[in-house]
Amino acid sequence: MLGIILTGHGGFASGLAQAMKQVLGEQPQFVAVDFPESSTTARLTAQLTEATQTLSDCEGIVFLTDLLGGTPFRVASTLAMQAPGCEVITGTNLQLLLEMALEREGLSGEEFRLQALECGHRGLTSLVDELARSREEDCEIGEGI
What are the residues whose beta carbons fall under 8 Å from the beta carbon of 113, sequence distance 6 or more?
62, 87, 89
Closest C-alpha among 74, 87, 82 to residue 9: 74
Domain boundaries, the chain: 3-142
Reported as a single tens digit per residue, the pLDDT across 43-79 is 999 999 999 999 989 999 999 999 999 999 999 999 9
At residue 77, the pLDDT reads 97
CA pair distance 10, 13, nearest whole angstrom? 8
Q: What residue type is assigned to position 78 of the chain?
A: T
Closest C-alpha among 125, 136, 96, 138 to residue 4: 96
Reported as a single tens digit per residue, the pLDDT across 87-104 is 999 999 999 999 999 999
Topology (CATH) of 3-142: Rossmann fold (3.40.50)
Is residue 4 within 8 A of residue 20, CB to CB? The reply is no
Is residue 65 within 8 A of residue 88, CB to CB? The reply is yes
3-state secondary structure of 26: coil
pTM metric for this prediction: 0.89
CA pair distance 14, 24, nearest whole angstrom? 15
3-state secondary structure of 17: helix
